[in-house]
Amino acid sequence: MAGVASPLQYGDPPQLGPFVLQARLRVGPAGLVYLGQGADGRAVSVAVLTRGAALDPAARDRFVTGIREATASRSGMRGWMARAARGRTAVADVTPQVLAMDGGSAPWVATPYEPNRAGAERFLEPVLVRGTLIGEQHGPDFAPHWVSDRSPALPAPPKGAPPPVETRRSVILAGAALTVLLVLLAVMVLLLLRRQEEGAPPPRPLPQTTFVPTPPPVPATTEPGQPTPSPSPSESGTGSPGPRQGDENDGAPI
């Protein structure tokens, strides 16, 4: 019976084959069951082994063998014999229809999703073997060492193909065109700067100032026998002539 759906978590594959995974339906030690959708819109149940089970050759072989037996039970002589031995109704009720499978390094299987019936989780039951090789009724329970690892076994990522020749050539041409544009832009900037320098007026020279020294005064020449003129107040260096000696007695009676 399918469990309650829960959102996808980190590490869950977004797609397996043509089916897009939408939610988790069940998580167990042998594998995980997802709710997916096909390209035609059909809801599917997808079971994928855990990483530990996928690395165990025996567990992987049990999973793939169960899927192949279910596929053969619905077609061919082997399917007719299985239906005759078990009954058509029992086989149809217990074994779901296999829509797609992949038995590579990360095996998975997809079946139609029906909410009230077992889906792809049916193929996870034989992966865990309880008891010894001679059966469950004899000997103690057997638990593989990888039961604690419940992370999904992701399909091997496809190898990166080399880029096509046309794409590589386009990248080279685009790089060359970009280089030419950068060179032209640099030349235009240099020409613009040079034109601005040539069109600018030359700097004006500073005016030259000439200093003319004042000639010293030439003393006046006097003829012999003439009195020497007294210097003017400005030439004597004083603003007003001081009193001469003997002027104090000019107003006094003799």
β-bridge partners, 6? 24
> What residue type is assigned to position 115 of the chain?
P
155 within 8 A of 13, measured Cβ to Cβ: yes
- Domain boundaries, given as residue ranges, for the chain: 15-127
pLDDT at 1: 45
Among the listed residues 9, 2, 103, the one whose alpha carbon sits nearest the alpha carbon of residue 45: 2
Q: Is 15 exposed, middle or buried (0-12, 13-18, 19+ CB in 10 A)?
A: exposed
| Residues in CB range of 51: below 8 A, 6 or more apart | 146, 149, 151, 152, 153
Tokens of 14: 């977004």
pLDDT at 22: 93
pLDDT at 147: 76
Three-class SS of residue 76? helix
Tokens of 167: 């794409």
pLDDT at 46: 95
The four Cα atoms 12, 13, 16, 19 give a dihedral, to 10 degrees, of 80
pLDDT at 91: 41
Q: Note down pLDDT in tens along the chain; length 254 residues.
A: 446 789 998 889 899 999 999 999 999 888 999 999 999 999 999 999 998 888 888 888 999 998 998 888 766 555 545 555 555 444 445 678 899 988 888 899 999 998 888 889 999 988 887 544 444 444 455 567 777 778 888 754 555 555 555 677 788 888 899 999 999 999 999 888 888 777 766 667 767 777 677 777 776 665 556 665 555 555 554 445 555 555 555 555 54
Q: Which CATH architecture is the domain 15-127 placed in?
A: Orthogonal Bundle (1.10)
- Please report which helix (H) or strand (E) contains residue 196, including its range: helix 165-199
pLDDT at 96: 83
Alpha-carbon separation of residue 135 from 17, 64, 89, 131 (angstroms): 35, 20, 27, 6
- Please report which helix (H) or strand (E) contains residue 100, including its range: strand 100-102
pLDDT at 134: 44
Return left, alpha or beta for 41; rule: phi > 0 is left, psi -120 to 50 is alpha, else beta: left
